[in-house]
């Protein structure tokens, strides 16, 4: 991309983050997503780090102001000024401050779910990109956020993995961030939905084609799982003993491994945390072993595990590259992963407009090129693969992926996701985390 075009795209991406800046935190998008989502915030901080060190730091510190007493970071912090009809299920559906003993004071209200822990990745990127004049402020930020990150990761390593498997258990597809992925088809089919109060979906009003969004049947199961969590008052032990959806999520687990590595980097910067280093290192080792135990040798993909059924979930999705995201793959395993990534199941599929990883393989039953996580290309998923290739020493492949991504997304829109065969922007426009990863790709130039 030529310098003038890169600068113009950089400015447009920065404008999206300014458009969505709510004064200390960033909404995910102007219309469909008027609240703060937790794993979005990690990616957004990566982008903001290239614009304003202090503002990037506030993005994460603001999120952690709503951390639960048990260490959990809620997947949504609701914007109290957003219209009640803007998003469902909204704060009135969760009423977390009164219903859940561990929830923080409200308003603002939070959800009772969580999402992959990208925040430590954003925190260390803020430190690494801080200009010389901001180094002291960035160091102070790391000192402030480190204990919050540690409590968050400890919650995931204990409450969400009581077996000590190294793999995080999710209670709801929304916790994965990949809501309607084929990864969840089998465990969702086993969920029997009871009586639900009437509700009206808000998301369908923001798309022209309803097939882009989860089906009504999927949505009913989503809401039913929320109701079951509310019944337990979010008691982790009760959920583990009675909840109808318990899945070991390999993508979530891989991001936790990478986030724990970032946590160790923060320890090195601070020159402290001696007592916790062994604990965090053990989480990393346990996580990688857990992911290795879920490898499917036939596809070289890592498979989620249905805890209740006691079976692996066979689905060819971008989550299968979890060990690459976790890092430190031995050469033979890395070679097998590269073979699958560049095979006709993913980047080598002949019908792709550009060689970018679709969220679900076009050869997977249930693939749909326009339906949310069932096929479209997500810029944040592309960023994760690119970043993982860099960490694996695959610099040429990483650069090819970065330049291809910028070619695909250079038309603007900063869409939520893209049709893999045509490149058509889909979902919500002016998506903050899309703009953020574009900023990070451009900053490498």
Query: Catalytic residues, which ones?
Result: 179, 416
Pick from 80, 72, 81: nearest CA to 104: 72
Kindly provide the b/e burial profile for residues 303-313, where b requires at least 16 CB atoms within 10 angstroms of the residue's own CB.
bbbbbeeeebb
Q: Dihedral, CA atoms, 184, 185, 188, 190, nearest 10 degrees? A: -130
Q: How far is CA 310 from the centre of its chain?
A: 25
Name residues whose C-beta falls within 8 Å of residue 81's C-beta, 6 or more positions apart in sequence: none
Which strand (E) or helix (H) includes residue 146? helix 135-158
Helix (H), strand (E) counts: the chain: 18, 10
Asked whether the beta carbons of 413 and 429 are under 8 A apart, the reply is: yes
Give the angle subtended at the CA of 378 by the CAs of 375 and 379, to the nearest 5°: 155
Residue 98 burial (C-beta neighbours within 10 Å; 0-12, 13-18, 19+): exposed
| End-to-end alpha carbon distance in the chain | 10
Pick from 346, 340, 328: nearest CA to 382: 346
Name residues whose C-beta falls within 8 Å of residue 235's C-beta, 6 or more positions apart in sequence: none
């Amino acid at each position: 991309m030529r310098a003038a075009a890169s600068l113009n795209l950089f400015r447009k991406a920065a404008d999206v983050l300014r458009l969505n800046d709510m004064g200390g935190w960033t909404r995910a998008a102007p219309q469909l997503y008027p609240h703060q989502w937790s794993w979005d915030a990690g990616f957004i901080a990566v982008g903001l780090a290239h614009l304003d060190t202090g503002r990037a730091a506030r993005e994460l510190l603001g999120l952690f102001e709503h951390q639960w007493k048990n260490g959990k970071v809620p997947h949504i912090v609701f914007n109290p000024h957003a219209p009640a009809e803007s998003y469902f299920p909204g704060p009135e559906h969760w009423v977390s401050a009164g219903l859940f003993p561990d929830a923080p004071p409200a308003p603002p209200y939070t959800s009772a779910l969580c999402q992959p822990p990208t925040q430590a990745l954003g925190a260390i990127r803020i430190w690494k990109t801080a200009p010389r004049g901001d180094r002291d402020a960035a160091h102070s930020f790391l000192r402030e956020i480190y204990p919050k990150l540690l409590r968050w990761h400890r919650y995931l390593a204990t409450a969400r993995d009581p077996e000590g498997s190294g793999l995080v258990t999710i209670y709801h597809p929304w916790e994965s961030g990949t809501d309607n992925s084929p990864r969840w088809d089998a465990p969702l089919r086993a969920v029997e939905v009871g009586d639900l109060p009437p509700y009206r979906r808000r998301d369908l009003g923001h798309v022209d084609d309803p097939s882009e969004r989860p089906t009504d049947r999927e949505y009913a199961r989503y809401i039913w799982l929320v109701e079951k969590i509310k019944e337990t008052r979010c008691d982790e032990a009760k959920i583990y003993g009675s909840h109808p959806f318990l899945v070991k999520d390999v993508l979530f687990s891989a991001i936790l491994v990478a986030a724990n590595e970032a946590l160790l980097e923060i320890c090195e910067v601070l020159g402290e945390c001696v007592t916790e280093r062994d604990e965090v290192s053990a989480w990393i080792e346990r996580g990688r072993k857990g992911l290795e135990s879920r490898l499917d040798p036939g596809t070289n993909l890592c498979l989620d595990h249905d805890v209740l059924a006691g079976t692996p979930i066979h689905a060819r999705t971008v989550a299968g590259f979890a060990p690459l995201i976790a890092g430190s793959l031995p050469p033979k395993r890395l070679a097998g992963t590269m073979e699958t990534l560049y095979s006709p199941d993913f980047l080598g599929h002949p019908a792709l407009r550009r060689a970018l990883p679709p969220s679900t393989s076009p050869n997977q039953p249930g693939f749909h090129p326009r339906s949310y996580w069932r096929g479209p290309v997500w810029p944040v998923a592309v960023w994760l693969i690119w970043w993982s290739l860099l960490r694996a020493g695959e610099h040429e492949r990483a650069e090819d992926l970065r330049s291809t991504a910028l070619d695909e997304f250079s038309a603007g829109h900063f869409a939520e996701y893209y049709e893999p065969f045509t490149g058509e922007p889909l979902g919500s426009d002016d998506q903050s985390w899309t703009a953020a990863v574009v900023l990070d790709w451009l900053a490498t130039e």
